[in-house]
Homo-oligomer: A and B are copies of this chain.
Amino acid sequence: MFFEGSEKKLEIIVNESAPKLRSLDRIFWLGLVAASNADILSSINNEYCDAYLLSESSLFVWDDRIVMLTCGASTLVESACYCIEHLSEQAIAYICYQRKNEYYAHLQATSFTDDVFRLRQFIAGQAYRMGHLDSHHHYIFSTNKDYQASQLDTTNELLMYHISGAVADYLRGEQQSTVQISQMLQLEQLFNGFSIDQYLFSPLGYSINGIRGAEYFTIHITPQENSSYVSVETNIDLSSTPVDVFAELVRLLHPSSCDIIGFNSHIANKPFLNYLCLSHCAMPIEQGFTIHFNHYQQDCSELLNPTLL
């Protein structure tokens, strides 16, 4: 019953020499997704954005950028290489490739070191690890071209490990419905006015994409006992929402630990009720982003149950 929910993430921003990305034909996107060993399940779109729900997470496309997340043993680094090859290295303004804390790194097709070696065959960039190897940590590869992000270009990622409580029980139950899950997660209140596209995986697992103008959110849930994982990512400004979105999701899903990764975030250092911030890091890079990594754990000494293997 093990599935690696934790994602790799790719963001690519193109410059004016590139075509408008949304004008590229479907063959291009099928090839991009196939490079990661994923498939397109469904899509929604509006004036600014095409949002694809994938067999292994999500792809968002705007005219000047893509954001792609894939989980499991997918090979997202190959989608990065595919993009650079097809669009040309000159058309790339900025690339950020991330790998989040994995449960079973040894089951992945490649290590982050392998991925960086592969990326550097196509484009130059710096690679970092934030966090100790024996604790939660986060890997980032970031190109060093002369690009300058706006301070308003913000992303927040909330990664929750070992969820528990009523919502977690429902997610691990015999039967679920997308309506019930989105109600339990209060998504209409938390992400008001978004068009959504959701999918229930068999036997377990839930994904949702939402778009509102150029804004997006995406949530992926791997509820499996012993290795549960939920990721939430959005580019909305979470410091000005009526509800504290991440605090509310943490309250509902009650993870034993969680990480927040922020790009130009205003909320990365906000404390969570009943959680300790075990470690934190803020790294400004020349391309105009300050990258935050904060690792939290429940404020209690957890009594562990041995797992029979």
For A285, give the chain B residue with the smallest CB separation. Answer: B306
Cβ-based interface call for A301 (8 A):
yes
Bound-state CA distance A308–B127 (Å) is: 6
Bound-state CA distance A26–B51 (Å) is: 68
Cβ-based interface call for A31 (8 A):
no
Bound-state CA distance A92–B277 (Å) is: 47
Whether A136 pairs with B133 at a CB distance below 8 angstroms is no
Bound-state CA distance A302–B162 (Å) is: 22
| Beta-carbon contacts under 8 Å, A26-81 to B | none
| Beta-carbon contacts under 8 Å, A144-203 to B | 161-162
Cβ-based interface call for A266 (8 A):
no
Q: Contact partner of A129 among B106, B111, B279, B307, CB < 8 A?
A: B307
How many copies of the chain does the oligomer comprise? Answer: 2
| Cβ–Cβ < 8 Å partners of A247 in chain B | none
Given contacts A106-B111, A108-B106, A133-B226, contact A279 B302 (CB under 8 A): yes
Whether A106 pairs with B105 at a CB distance below 8 angstroms is yes
Cβ-based interface call for A10 (8 A):
no
Bound-state CA distance A307–B227 (Å) is: 27
Cβ-based interface call for A101 (8 A):
yes
Cβ-based interface call for A304 (8 A):
yes
Cβ-based interface call for A16 (8 A):
no
Bound-state CA distance A224–B108 (Å) is: 26
Given contacts A226-B133, A309-B113, A309-B127, contact A279 B257 (CB under 8 A): no
Provide a sorted-by-A list of 5 A–B residue pairs whose CB atoms are within 8 angstroms: A132-B226, A132-B256, A276-B276, A278-B297, A279-B303
A residues lining the B interface (CB < 8 Å): 101, 103-106, 108, 111-113, 116, 126-136, 139, 161-162, 226-227, 256-257, 276-281, 283, 293, 297, 301-309
The 9 A-B residue pairs with the shortest CB-CB distance, nearest first, are A281-B304, A106-B106, A127-B309, A279-B302, A103-B133, A128-B306, A129-B307, A277-B301, A283-B306
